[in-house]
Amino acid sequence: MLNKYLQLTTPVARTFNRQVMFWFSLSMTFALIYGILGLQQAFSSEYVVQDDARQHVFWMQRFFDPELFPNDFIADYFQSVAPQAYTALYQIIASVGINPLFLSKVLPIVLGLVTTGYCFGVCLEILPVPAAGFVASLLLNQTIWLKEDLGSATARAFLYPLFLAFLYYFLRRSWLPTLVAIALQGLFYPQTLLISAGVLILQLVCYERSRPRLSRNRNDYLFCAAGLVVAFLVMLPYVFESSPFGPTISEAQARALPDFLPGGRTQFFASGLWRYWICGRRSGFLPDEWCQPTWRASIQPFFLSPPIWLGFLLPSLLLFPRPFALVKYVKQVRVLLDIVLVSFFMFFAAHAVLFKLYLPSRYTQHSLRIVLAIATGISLILILDALFRWAEQQTVRKFLTLGATALVGAVLILYPSFLRVTGQEFPSPGYVTGNVPQLYEFFKQQPKDTLIASLTEETDNLPTFSQRSVLASRELAIPYHVGYQREFSQRATDLVRAQYSQNLTDAENLIQKYGVDLWLVDRAAFTPEYLVRHRWLSQRQFQPEIQAIRARLEQGLVPALAKLVDRCSVFESQGLVVMQAECIASAK
């Protein structure tokens, strides 16, 4: 039978044997396949970049060319908030001649393979059945490649391999590797370290006859103390560090800003308790792919996302050791519950001190994906083993079980193909393709200290593809530090007013105030329709000013800048016109 040949539910006594190596190799193979599919997207065109890399990687081109982005307020900000180890990694690799943007495209496949290896190992520590490790790692790979986290190659891309590394060494009680994993978490993605520290503390609580008590094992206390000391030392610089861009924004300040309200650039305070606490992308505890705005899309968690939700069955299965005989091999499974408990504690703590611990969703959404992938791998193997035992004595049962097993395997392996049939791309690492290469090349030829003022959506791509500074853009409008938010908001407001003012003096003042060299405009920018469909200008923070501008345009009042488009143009491509700022400032 299938179980006899593939040993699907056979426990292993040794870490390395043919059975383990087969399932581990299969796990790594699928991780490699998904990574290669991601690489194909990353290198499908010369001008392709991951969405979040336009915030967190573009400034790293300074490592490759120190003359880029001189005195750039925006680049300086994103450099200041980057974790130390994350910055150091890119800087070291840039020192040997590898461009940070190139590295950001190849790094996800490496992180995916490391994640897979540790996920397989963690699952094997809980249930020593290699097929469970394969299912868990396969589901986790499918989950994370449907999101932008791993593909971003930003600091949060490291949370999956580092947290799983911590869990693996923690379960094996390997002191030194565990401490190293904790330190790396703090240096790459501190939010994950706080969850790991909580898991260390909870291991001191034991249960006897369903009653909690403190551990009597001295090594548990030493292990916990060592981990907490490392965590404390790594986190200490964050506590005393003062940002040159002001303190982290407070809840009261955020509630007063349209950026954080519904319709804002970084919407946080969603209307309704469900959207705020459960399904908010930044404020809710559920993974955002489980929360859809319409009833039709609400089937997504069950059909259009990996079936990791089957992990919810695990607690019930563990209560019935007779039909599910493999339950007796399950050990240290409590760590999954501990992760969930700590995650929810940190979730509410982050809400209590908003935004001192960054976004609350960062403490639950990632950990839930990991826990449920592992729980699902274990649950499926427990169920399959029970089916195999049920089918031992009857031929009809054997064929039914064989069919059910083949169906489950086909669903798991062919899931990405099913997604493509439904029209959803897999993998979906969030790559963005630049559509105006001539424009990028033109800006590249300008002096490296050039500052570009623009409200076009292509402005999001200019720092990455042209390596030139911009005054403001939607992609870079991240208002989590008071000083940065204030300055950036002022820049954006000044730019909107200057571009649509009836008085050319506003444009001249903007050029003089910020030292603008070039002004990029869309020929369609001076129409009411443009303002309606513009992704950034249609957001809440620009209202009601945009409404007033739109009313003037509908009345036929032409902004002063629009009259100079042809006169001051120095380059044009696909309806995007580059205007010389000096020409605008000297116009009469």
Token duo for residue 276: 């705020």
Token duo for residue 343: 């995650």
Question: For residues 380 and 311, what is the distance between their CA atoms, to the nearest angstrom?
Answer: 9
Contact yes or no for 259/541 (Cβ under 8 A): yes
- The number of C-alpha atoms within 13 Å of 446 and in the hemisphere containing its C-beta is 24
pLDDT of residue 412: 86
Question: For residues 378 and 137, what is the distance between their CA atoms, to the nearest angstrom?
Answer: 11
Token duo for residue 346: 């940190």
Determine if the peptide bond prior to 437 is cis (ω within 30°): no
- The number of C-alpha atoms within 13 Å of 499 and in the hemisphere containing its C-beta is 28
CB atoms closer than 10 angstroms to residue 301 = 18
pLDDT tens per residue, the chain (588 residues)?
555 545 788 888 767 788 999 999 999 999 999 999 999 999 999 999 999 999 999 999 999 899 999 999 999 999 999 999 999 999 999 999 999 999 999 999 999 999 999 999 999 999 999 999 999 999 999 999 998 999 999 999 999 999 999 999 999 999 999 999 999 999 999 999 999 999 999 999 988 777 888 988 999 999 999 999 999 999 998 888 888 998 999 999 999 999 999 888 899 998 788 889 998 889 999 887 777 543 344 444 445 567 888 899 999 999 888 889 899 999 999 999 999 999 999 999 999 999 999 999 999 999 999 999 999 999 999 999 888 888 777 776 777 777 777 888 888 888 888 777 667 788 999 999 999 999 999 999 999 999 999 999 999 999 999 999 999 999 999 989 999 999 999 999 999 999 999 999 999 999 999 999 999 999 999 999 999 899 898 888 888 889 999 999 999 999 999 999 999 999 999 999 999 999 999 886
Determine the residue type at 130: P
pLDDT of residue 295: 36
Contact yes or no for 49/464 (Cβ under 8 A): yes
Residue of 436, 439, 407 whose CA lies nearest to 570: 439
pLDDT of residue 158: 97
Residue 115: which H helix or E strand, with range?
A: helix 100-126
Residue 337, sorted as left (phi over 0), alpha (psi -120 to 50) or beta, turns out to be alpha
3-state secondary structure 263-324: CCCCCCCCCCHHHHHHCCCCCCCCCHHHCCCCCCHHHHHHHCCCCHHHHHHHHHHHCCCCCC
Task: Pinpoint the alpha helices (H) of 309-421.
Answer: 314-318, 334-352, 365-390, 395-421
Residue of 465, 461, 458, 460 whose CA lies nearest to 444: 465
Start-to-end CA span in the chain (Å): 88
pLDDT of residue 289: 75
pTM: 0.94
pLDDT of residue 17: 85
Q: Which residues pair with 518 in a beta bridge?
A: 452, 580
CATH topology for 435-586 is: Rossmann fold (3.40.50)
Residue of 452, 548, 560 whose CA lies nearest to 506: 560
Question: For residues 585 and 447, what is the distance between their CA atoms, to the nearest angstrom?
Answer: 19
Token duo for residue 182: 């904790």
Give residues with Cβ within 8 angstroms of 28, minimum separation 6. 113, 116, 117
Burial of 40 (0-12, 13-18, 19+ CB in 10 A): exposed
Q: Where are the domains of the chain?
A: 1-171+365-433, 435-586
Question: For residues 402 and 423, what is the distance between their CA atoms, to the nearest angstrom?
Answer: 31
